[in-house]
Structure 1
Amino acid sequence: MMCSAVLTICSSTAVYAENVIRVGEINSYKTIPAFLEPYRKGIELAVEQVNADNGINGKKLEVILRDDGGTQNNAIREAQTLLRRDKVDLLAGGFLSHIALALADFAKNKKVFFLAGEPLTDKMVWENGNEYTFRLRDSTYMKVAMLIDDAVALKKKRWALVYPNYEYGQSAVESFKKMMKERQPDIEFVMEQATPFNNIDANSVVQALADVKPDAIFNVLFSTDLTKFVRAGNTRQLFKDVSVVSLLTGEPEYLDPLGSDTPKGWIVTGYPWYAINTPEHDAFLKAYQAKFNDYPRLGSIVGYMTIQSLAAGLRKAKSTKAEDLIEAFKGLELSTPLGQISYRSIDHQSTMGSYIGRLDVKDGKGIMTDIRYVDGKDVLPSDEEVLKLRPQVK
């Protein structure tokens, strides 16, 4: 159990004060520690900075963390406890897409504001979007749109698809197939490998892919599934003459474990913290390294920006009422380590972007090269398209 003044995981009833704003944060900390331990550190740093800067209009910000155990039922139970016992003012969190969707539905039913920091499914803001839910992270649609020019430029006809078989993976593959068919009508999808999340049989997946001999692979695996897939693929030389386009693989939490096994030339989305030279990121990097004596991962950035967003919205709203926060977040603009972002009024999606590049190995470590940043606002659908995707918008 961890307890501190501004970042709390406690089972006992807290002492409530009128000068404190409480955020209930629910996430899969034990299920995805590679991402969510850095995420927690990003939250801690941001809360510390917010409170050092007069808090939220003079009120202290407190974040109460809860683990969802990797299931929807646990997530909802924790949300109920946070509202009923811990008296939080709003909710945040969600890593696994299907769990975050359940939390968004809970927030709608309870009429409580919910900022989804990390989940990538497009349903979060479109098909299943609701008035009480906003999302920070760039979605699967956005990430695929960032990579689509590179995928088309490969001029490969026969593609195989590899993804974890739950909402995030399904959403990413659906977007990829749709965009590629529009840009390259003669494309063939020769195989789909939908693997159990966190339980991939990598040797069987690699053998199946080798048997169909694709020209290219679209990969959506991450975490330990990715590591097992890459190492099995290297052993079989699957990637020797096959182009690979891959979501998330350039994020340090998933790239670092690959080390010298990092497959060269993969086109990926990621976070090359060592190669970003902007004043905003430099300030974040120095503060993070000074506090934790470590380098940030993508989770660190998402946790940090989640709290930045909440602080900006709360300051603008001058209230913790859900209706006031909803109005404050519509069109909200703020400066972050990744530059200026805003939250769109029409679908509650932020314009957070991502870095695109190719994988390489340097000094036995995986790195990203040929790096460019794609602003989220440049890959989001128009208002007219959103009205079709989010029919509940009035």
Structure 2
Amino acid sequence: MIRKNLTIAMATTLFVGPLAACASSGGAGGSGGSGGGGTVTVGESTSLSGSIANLGQTGLQGLQMAVADINAKGGLLGKKVKVVSADDSTQPATGAANARSMITKNKAVALFGPVSSAVASAEQQVAEQYKVPIFFHTSNDVSLMTKTFTPYAFQNVPSTTMEPRAVADYLAKKVGDKQITIATFAPDYSFGHDTVDGFLQALQKLHVNYKLVKQEFPPLGASNISSYLSALVSSHPQYVFNAQYGGDLVAFTKQAEQFGFFKDTKVIAMYAYAPLDALGSSAPAGAIGFDRAAFWAIDNPAMSTFVKAYQAKYKKYPTEWAILAYASAQEWAYGVKKANSFDSDKVIKAIPGATVPTIIGDMKIRACDHQAEVPEYVGTISKTANPKYGGVHLYDDVFKAPFKDISLSCDEAKALQK
């Protein structure tokens, strides 16, 4: 169901401050100055319903916690920050309409989210039209920072080039020179196709000796994937690269188990904490998982503090989506404080090239494409539940793929930009 009314989220906490809303040449944007008092609004239009709702809901929670922490420290530039949110129902037109309403009616000076890269592309166009910065903490299609690049957009997750390269590197180390058969399974939209293409291209670059035996692209959110699974099973792959996530990945795993799929095939998928928690003892031991912000593998005081605070508030461990949303809010706050203004054009000039202190560590924002220099975490799902983190089957080993090894170069990124 589409939430027609924007809901004002309760104030939350971070290391940021307030912004003053005012019209810009595009229609609405940040206004400068550090005048005290009042509030400033930021918005998040994301998937709050459907099979991938967990990504949107927990991402929103991360943003709200960040803003609450900002307000607890006095706000930004003397102002309190307010969050407005809306459900995009994973529809680009709805996401664009929500973003436009947040800017024109709620006077939002920054946008965050969404989940789907297709929705992100639509919201990106609105952000550029109204000259308001937008921070992507879940959607990660590489085209957002290349083919449709705008100086108003920032991407704080490993892209659809980076993520599959990290996984391919991990797999290459596992299989060596041995020939393997591979199939792919991914949602039928830009993210799915680009992620699969990135994975296969990375395997070729790493000289992995593989044979592609099947490719399936079910619709995003499809509840019955038995026909796709049957085709996959019939191809007898040794490995399946699956680009699904959230509830779709959980559904795939449960249905694939009914086919006895995991006996002869290793699945490679976004088995981050949330789907592993949802699967419990049904988590496919021996499968290869990847995670954009594996909190259990990030050892710093800021992350420890965040995890404890998140647990206290929501009675569960944070998802990667919550973590990266919090870090994105920290990035925006950093830009506001550095610019000493909420003016969009000043903020977007203050961030590129900067190294921002965040809960995931110091996060450098590359100037050439506004891609955050973040790693990807990859590992093999353990047969043993981890008692330290809720009895979830996490990774036996964690490979932290560094940004420099998995990203496009600046020359490559610029060549793809318009």
CA distance in 2, matches of 1:28, 1:205: 25
Q: Secondary structure at the match of 1:189?
A: strand
1:265 maps onto 2:286 in alignment = yes
Deviations 1:10-52 (A, max 9, x none): xxxxx99963221122111123322222222212221111112
- The change in CA–CA distance for 1:56 and 1:138 in structure 2 (over 3 A counts) is same
How far 1:220 moved relative to its partner?
0.9
Aligned residues of 2:179 and 2:209 also touching (Cα < 8 A): no
Deviations 1:63-103 (A, max 9, x none): 21122122111112112211221111222221101000111
Q: For residue 170 of structure 2, what is the aligned residue in structure 1? A: 150
Aligned residues of 2:67 and 2:329 also touching (Cα < 8 A): yes
CA distance in 2, matches of 1:352, 1:208: 36
1:113 maps onto 2:133 in alignment = yes
CA distance in 2, matches of 1:110, 1:73: 16
- The change in CA–CA distance for 1:383 and 1:27 in structure 2 (over 3 A counts) is same
Aligned residues of 2:102 and 2:108 also touching (Cα < 8 A): yes
Q: For residue 89 of structure 2, what is the aligned residue in structure 1? A: 69
User: How many matched pairs?
Assistant: 382
How far 1:110 moved relative to its partner?
2.4
Q: For residue 17 of structure 2, what is the aligned residue in structure 1? A: none
Q: Please, what TM-score do these two structures have when normalized by structure 2?
A: 0.85
Q: For residue 92 of structure 1, what is the aligned residue in structure 2? A: 112
Aligned residues of 1:343 and 1:349 also touching (Cα < 8 A): yes
Q: For residue 411 of structure 2, what is the aligned residue in structure 1? A: 384
CA distance in 2, matches of 1:176, 1:372: 17
CA distance in 2, matches of 1:18, 1:58: 6
Q: For residue 324 of structure 1, what is the aligned residue in structure 2? A: 346
Q: For residue 277 of structure 1, what is the aligned residue in structure 2? A: 299
Q: Secondary structure at the match of 2:108?
A: coil
Higher mean alpha-carbon deviation, 360-369 vs 204-213, is at: 360-369
Structure 1 segments, 4+ long, off by >4 Å, are 1-5, 15-18
Deviations 1:222-253 (A, max 9, x none): 2232223222322222222323322x21x222
Note the residue ranges of structure 2 that are not aligned, 5 or more in a row.
13-20, 23-35, 386-390
1:335 maps onto 2:357 in alignment = yes
CA distance in 2, matches of 1:46, 1:93: 14
- Partner letter of residue 6 of structure 1? A
Aligned residues of 1:90 and 1:320 also touching (Cα < 8 A): no
Q: Secondary structure at the match of 2:125?
A: helix
1:370 maps onto 2:393 in alignment = no
How far 1:200 moved relative to its partner?
4.7
CA distance in 1, matches of 2:8, 2:348: 30
1:37 maps onto 2:60 in alignment = no
How far 1:282 moved relative to its partner?
1.1
Q: Please, what TM-score do these two structures have when normalized by structure 1?
A: 0.90
- The change in CA–CA distance for 1:366 and 1:205 in structure 2 (over 3 A counts) is farther
CA distance in 2, matches of 1:105, 1:325: 18
Q: For residue 312 of structure 1, what is the aligned residue in structure 2? A: 334
CA distance in 2, matches of 1:52, 1:5: 13
Note the residue ranges of structure 1 that are not aligned, 5 or more in a row.
8-14
- The change in CA–CA distance for 1:378 and 1:57 in structure 2 (over 3 A counts) is farther
State which of 66, 86, 94 in structure 2 corresponds to 1:46: 66
1:6 maps onto 2:11 in alignment = yes
Identity in percent:
26
Q: Secondary structure at the match of 1:54?
A: coil
CA distance in 1, matches of 2:154, 2:298: 27
State which of 254, 258, 275 in structure 2 corresponds to 1:254: 275
How far 1:275 moved relative to its partner?
5.0
Q: Secondary structure at the match of 1:214?
A: coil
CA RMSD after TM alignment:
2.3
Q: Secondary structure at the match of 2:55?
A: helix
- Partner letter of residue 231 of structure 2? A
